A and B are shown apart, each in its own frame.
Chain A
Amino acid sequence: MADAGNSAAIAEAFADGPAYVPYLVVGDPDYDSSKAYVEALDRGGADVIELGLPFSEPIAEGSTIQEALVRSLDAGMTPDRFFAFAEELDVDAALVCMTYYNLIYQYGSGKARSASDASGETASAGPRPFVERAAAAGIEGLVVPDLPAEEADPLREACDEFGLDLVFIVAPTTQGDRLDRIMANVSGYVYVQARLGTTGARSDVSDQTTESLDRLREYDVPKAVGFGISTGEHAERIVAGGADGIIVGSALVDIVAEGVEDDLSTAAVADRLEALSRELKDGAERGYAARVEAAEAAESTPPESR
């Protein structure tokens, strides 16, 4: 059900003012630094944190995040290490895992691959073991950018069983039956893609965002807008425009990448992540205040003078 999410923690994150939803790739550039970085997001005011579990073929990502996924894989990240990481985190924010379907589908299949395994009849365990393990690690929801609603039944059933939300992405081009089908499957929040293209920080915020929010108005599920948000001012405008939350990925991953390039200390990078988080969160709250004010002004204005 769109309006009854599985995770109380995610519902809570959106219940009271705008949610700040940052994303980082787990294990980028290494396990320990990455933990410090995620905890910095939490200190900076994160309400939900999207943790990227790297897949070798990330077709939905821009180059910023793709490079981060490669750094993490090169440093040895695996699904099991990812879950251990989530368990060790000391954060207040609700945790959501963002990854590609093949990793979810293969997890726990325990297949030994060799030339002798040539029968073609290998039974996958399906998505259930991954979801069960994620729930045990304290993950509250999943975002799977290459899984369309049409193929999502087994994963949604597992998420319902273990109390996870399944977040779907809605693009500026998503309309009609497709939009209805997605919104019938989504839980927790809907990820509103602000513009066409893949992830990546941009300097402008698209008109497509406003149109998308208008299209989603009738659906009773929190709307978090992502793709291209990099400043407090963006966050303010998007929340003032009706978003219930903002998702920020590439702008944060950029900070991690600069840390690698300039050989900065983990503490210095963490400070910058915390500072940008605070700016984004403050921006979102200013936008929310402006929206509440505008709504109140509209209500107190007599209808005939509107």
Chain B
Amino acid sequence: MSETDTRTTDEAESARRPGRERGREDGKFGRYGGQYVPEALMPAIEELTDAYERYVLDNEDGFMDEFRERLADFGGRPTPLQRADRLSERYDTEVYLKREDLVHGGAHKLNNALGQVLLAKYMGKERIIAETGAGQHGTATAMAAAHLDMPCTIYMGERDINRQRPNVFRMKLNGSEVKPVTTGRGTLKEAISETMRDWAATVEDTHYVIGSIVGPHPFPVMVRDFQAVISEEAREQSIEKTGGLPTDVVACAGGGSNTMGSFAEFVDDEAVDLHAVEAGGSTLEVDEEAGVAPNSASLFAGDEGVLHGARTKLLQDSDGQIMESHSVSSGLDYAGVGPELAYLVDEGRVSPVAVDDDAALEGFHRLSSTEGIIPALETAHAFGFVEEHHEELGERVVVNVSGRGDKDLDAAIEETDKRDIAGAPDMSMFTGGI
């Protein structure tokens, strides 16, 4: 195809899909988004914005072609859109599963990590840094960095390191350095601050791979564009397999990268309902005195503020201090959410809904026993939603299986043992770890 042809197609494409253009120009999603970062980082942010526009949007030097090729060969894409026979029967509606759990590494995380590490390479950067909470983004980044032969340092809170030893081992196997963060309380937010600190001192040769559609522009649009492969495939597959678009798309939401990845191509299809399922934790009530929100439902229960470089919806106290969030699934455990999702919720385009720990655990067991797929605890929230709300859903529902649950087996055993879940196996013989 000649260059002229490409441009014509692109223009026609963007006219059809204004939702995909949102935020690309200035990083704003209505009143959300922006670039709330220390001045020392601004040159790096501007350099990254320029690289995003050239390589990702304009496919300069064939960047996007190489990205797609590596996603196929290294990442195992495309992933199937599979009909879930027993769930379809259970809910008397067509349930389809977008199988991101089959991406290399076992989750959608690689889509973004591979894109950003490759972009860093095109930008001539020599080093990769990333933060990780439970270790999912860290392991995806470590895999991508090894694959593309880039030195990589992952910052991880000391407490998280002790809780997630297998993931620490995986990162080290892939040749990444894992730096324990001992400041403050030693969890994800300290790791984010520490990674920002590293970046502020090393911006000239280092790229910071942010793991979700959060942070300053261009991260929210760039991560969305890398993750949008999920909905690009799902939309085509739905038309091919079923002759039409789904009525509903369901995805779990923490920071929101699998969510926006699942929604991006459907945002302009107004007939398709989009459901962002957040972690309702143990309760939506907030303990302001202790600074604890026992959930991670920032879209559903949070309100506007500025965190980690963007204006978005947050879990915060009345002074504006960020609360400690909670979820049974560490990957959803974040007090903020991507600014684009905050905007789409305000616009009424995306419905936020909270599913609590109990319902998520039940969803975990239901998918495992009925469909032969052990989902990540994050993903399990989406199935908790379908169980509770199936009567309100249309006739063709796509659920994003954002990741597989192997990483969660210890947590699943422990959490199941605490509860009385119908149909779940007796976990007592396994407690104490497998």
Contacts and interface: CB of A to CB of B under 8 A. Distances in A.
Given A59-B192, A60-B38, A70-B184, A146 B306 contact: yes
B308 A114 contact: no
A59 B191 CA distance: 10
A173 B203 contact: yes
B200 interface: yes
Nearest to A130: B320
Nearest to B38: A60
Contact of B319 (A78, A117, A169): A78
B248 interface: no
A109 B286 contact: no
Interface in B291-335: 291, 299-301, 303-309, 313-314, 316-322
A61 B306 CA distance: 17
B360 interface: no
B344 to A, nearest CB: 11
B300 A118 contact: yes
A101 B36 contact: yes
Contacts of A103: 319-321
A73 B321 contact: yes
Interface in A102-136: 102-107, 109-115, 117-118, 120-122, 124
Contacts of B40: 60, 169, 171-173, 193, 196-198
A193 to B, nearest CB: 6
A265 interface: no
A217 interface: no
A170 B346 contact: no
A51 to B, nearest CB: 16
Interface stretch (A4-12, A147-155, A218-226): A147-155
Nearest to A109: B318
Contact of A148 (B37, B196, B291, B301): B37
The majority secondary structure among interface residues of chain A is loop
A61 B200 CA distance: 10
A57 interface: yes
A56 interface: yes
Contact of B305 (A67, A102, A120, A171): A102
Given A102-B316, A198-B200, A122 B303 contact: yes
Interface residues of A, number: 55
A168 interface: yes
B187 to A, nearest CB: 12
B284 interface: yes
A172 B43 CA distance: 10
B35 interface: yes
Given A59-B192, A114-B285, A120-B313, A106 B320 contact: yes
A197 B288 CA distance: 34
Contacts of B299: 120
Contacts of A197: 40, 197, 200-201
Contact of A151 (B35, B202, B321, B346): B35
A63 B190 CA distance: 10
B39 A193 contact: yes
B86 to A, nearest CB: 33
A113 B321 contact: no
Interface string A165-198: 0001111111000100010000000000100111
A34 interface: no
B183 interface: yes
B200 A105 contact: no
Contact of B34 (A55, A56, A151, A196): A151
Nearest to A173: B43
Given A120-B346, A171-B39, A105 B183 contact: no
B93 interface: no
A198 B320 contact: no
B49 interface: no
A169 B40 CA distance: 9
B125 to A, nearest CB: 15
A196 B38 contact: no
B42 A148 contact: yes
Nearest to B313: A120
A174 B37 contact: no
Interface in B180-196: 183-185, 189-190, 192-193, 196
A67 B183 contact: yes
Interface in A32-70: 55-63, 66-67, 70
Contacts of B46: 178
B373 interface: no
A10 to B, nearest CB: 20
Nearest to A175: B43
Contacts of A120: 299, 303, 313, 342, 345-346, 352
A79 interface: yes
Nearest to A227: B40
Contacts of A259: none
A56 B307 CA distance: 10
Nearest to A198: B197
Q: Which of A111, A114, A120 has the most CB of B within 10 A?
A: A120
12 contacts: A58-B193, A59-B196, A67-B183, A101-B36, A107-B320, A113-B318, A120-B346, A147-B36, A148-B36, A171-B38, A172-B40, A173-B43
Given A102-B307, A146-B38, A148-B39, 16 more contacts: A55-B320, A60-B40, A66-B193, A103-B321, A106-B320, A115-B284, A122-B303, A122-B304, A150-B34, A150-B35, A151-B36, A171-B39, A173-B40, A173-B203, A196-B203, A198-B197
Interface of A: 55-63, 66-67, 70, 73, 78-79, 100-107, 109-115, 117-118, 120-122, 124, 145-148, 150-151, 168-174, 178, 182, 193, 196-198
The 6 closest A-B pairs by CB, nearest first: A106-B320, A115-B284, A197-B201, A171-B40, A60-B38, A122-B303
Interface of B: 34-40, 42-43, 46, 183-185, 189-190, 192-193, 196-197, 200-203, 283-286, 288, 291, 299-301, 303-309, 313-314, 316-322, 342, 345-346, 352
